[in-house]
Chains A and B, each alone.
Chain A
Amino acid sequence: MPHVRKPKLAVWKFASCDGCQLSLLDCEDELLEVAGEIEIANFPEASRAVVKGPYDLSLVEGSITTPHDAERIHQVRRVSKFLVTIGACATAGGIQALRNFMDVRKFMSIVYATPAYIETLSKSTPISEHVPVDFELRGCPINKSQLLEVISAFLNRRKPNTPPHSVCVECKLRGTVCVMVAHGTPCLGPVTHAGCGAICPAYNRGCYGCFGPMESPNTKSLSHGWLRLGAKETDLVLAFRGFNAYADSFRKESESHEK
């Protein structure tokens, strides 16, 4: 039998919390099986051994926040056949994109005594603003089952099955009573991308949008719904300005409530 080369996987980190790449190590039941099918060629969080590129699939975590990283992402693209961003940082700039709404120099002086030692860009931006991206997996953090689906899909040359509908559909599938209708709890579920399994409403709280905007969200209509429940304009600014603050539709909605 001819020797079949295993596809090579690389995992890259930019500004992030490490949680999305940890999702791969959190696949406790599947990890060794995955490692049997693919060669984990470059994954510093898990191994000190590095196999040279090019790589069949690169998973990119984190956002671009430094001049050095803005260069490095181009190198990553060059050595990657498919490049998939994992998580809200890589896909929308992450929570650190809150700097995009403020003066970053002022920010730096709050945290560091000698800001001159630190190199940083004025904005935290998603990977797709710098290089072409083959697929974006949402979530803060990503869902590990969806991660396995994406890896399997790319290695088998098919489209990943990650539904683009809202969290509302997941609540219905889970049998959770609508927290907004039944309890008057403000919820971002109607405009938020599915994938988490609608966890928050199942724990008696409103969705806080950690998977970012769904396909064509009607944020305006939801904001009216929130105001009817007694929310204030500042509540809407804070709600849309969270872990996916710099995603286009969430950014515009938060800005429309800022006076």
Chain B
Amino acid sequence: MKSRTIKVDYLARVEGEGSLYVKIQGDKLADVKLKIFEPPRLFEAFLRGRRYNEAPDITARICGICPIAYQMSAVHAMEDAFGVKVEGPLRNLRRLVYCGEWIESHALHVYMLHAPDFLGFPDAIQLAREQPHIVQRGLQLKKAGNEIVSVLGGREIHPINVCVGGFYRVPTRSELAPLAERLKWARDAALETVKWVAQFPFPDFEQDYIFVSLQHPDEYPFNEGRLVSNRGLNISVHDYDDNFVEEHVAHSNALHSVLKSGEPYFLGPMARYNLNFDRLSPVAQEAARAAGLGPQCRNPFKSIIVRSIEILHACDEALRLIERYERPDSPSVPVHPHAARGYACTEAPRGTLYHRYRIDEGGIIRDAKIVPPTSQNQKRIEQDLWQYIPSHLHENHDQLRWQCEQAIRNYDPCISCATHFLKLDIERA
């Protein structure tokens, strides 16, 4: 029997190092392995013995693309442990800085990493030679997000201003005003982005996914809420460990996360959208309908539309937050550490990010568990490839290889996160 392999030794346009190995025997798909060879960095081990208030700055270094997500999950987990409530303008500033990270990370993925697949370019630089104004729009949109993070956080990557209890320094109203000017442009650009990506050619591919995300009674989720799914899961983040398990597989330096039932699940923009459509801002809902999407979307290739809708929502939400902002008297609320356990999930651009800490009476971290979105999506990505490849075996080798890469990029995987990554092998036998 003839067999062949498709190999992608170093997956491009994803964050971190991974590869794909696909084995085809005759007309049957025999194996799919998304391998993550990004070297392990062992954060959970060296967090032991560090102070509770170092967790936001240390865990930010897990990922240069979404440091705010790590900082947010860390501070919320610590505040959960010590019974601290951060409300009012400080809570709103946290939502604002998260909007900045979503805009920056999503614009990077939509324009620089994912769109070139749909248009047949190897990268956005080549795309810019033919459509410079489009790529410029993407870069300026990304910049609008980065500027929020810079103003609130001090710099775009590994911001320095987030602390347990709030911030080290809070901005004045006049410091936020220039952001609003750029965000008004960005909101229009985001709307144009939704229209642009909605015209891309999409393969006919829908799956019956288990979507999981946070859900807040009246907001599109960022920092808090209950963990829900479209199959009836509805739990407090305290019960995360009772409902999800991590498996260690030989081909990956990232742990695979599955539901207790053993089923893989889907996190990120697609999950948030399907579970929280009615909580999107009206302008985002309207743009979604105009783009031909209903409240449900089960085609992962269309995640590029959903991601663009989330950019629009984040721009709109950021504008609303800036408009209502009144500078609080104090940049943070007092924190009194004691022996306790703390749990938090927040919505990173790529999906739910779980942190759990055990702190001793001196405020020292004794145990830490961090589950990033990509390790939770990893098994689901492999499942998509198991479903997608068999009906596309007639395609030529290079085409199929590229489509496999595209199917992986649907998830915007962040491999640096997941090991706490990607290389592609397709073997045809």
By a beta-carbon cutoff of 8 Å, the part of chain A in contact with chain B is 13-23, 25-26, 28-29, 31-32, 35, 40, 44-49, 65-66, 68-69, 94-96, 98-99, 102, 104, 106-108, 110-114, 117-118, 120, 140-141, 196, 199-200, 202-205, 208, 210, 238, 243
Contacts and interface: CB of A to CB of B under 8 A. Distances in A.
Contacts of A205: 160-161, 163, 168-169
Given A16-B416, A110-B44, A199 B15 contact: no
B42 A111 contact: yes
Given A18-B64, A28-B139, A49-B122, A203 B45 contact: no
Interface string B145-177: 010000000111110110100011100000000
A32 B57 contact: no
Query: What 5 pairs across the A-B complex have the smallest Cβ distances?
Result: A19-B64, A47-B123, A49-B122, A48-B12, A107-B45
Contact of A238 (B48, B51, B154, B163): B51
20 contacts: A15-B41, A18-B63, A19-B64, A28-B142, A28-B146, A32-B128, A47-B13, A48-B13, A48-B122, A95-B46, A96-B42, A96-B46, A106-B45, A117-B253, A118-B253, A203-B154, A203-B168, A204-B331, A205-B169, A243-B61
Contacts, number: 181
Interface residues of B, number: 69
B297 interface: no
A114 B160 CA distance: 35
B262 interface: no
Interface of B: 10-17, 37-46, 48, 50-51, 54, 57-58, 61-65, 67, 108, 112, 122-126, 128, 132, 135-136, 139-140, 142-143, 146, 154-158, 160-161, 163, 167-169, 246, 248-250, 253, 255, 331, 402, 405, 414, 416, 420
Contact of A17 (B61, B146, B402): B61
Nearest to B249: A117
Contact of A112 (B38, B63, B158, B248): B248
B160 A44 contact: no
A25 B135 CA distance: 12
A204 B124 CA distance: 39
A238 B54 CA distance: 10
A98 B46 contact: yes
Contact of B64 (A20, A32, A98, A204): A20
Given A25-B112, A49-B122, 19 more contacts: A22-B157, A32-B125, A45-B15, A46-B123, A46-B125, A47-B126, A48-B12, A94-B61, A95-B41, A95-B46, A95-B58, A99-B46, A110-B42, A111-B42, A114-B250, A118-B253, A202-B154, A203-B161, A205-B163
A18 B125 contact: no
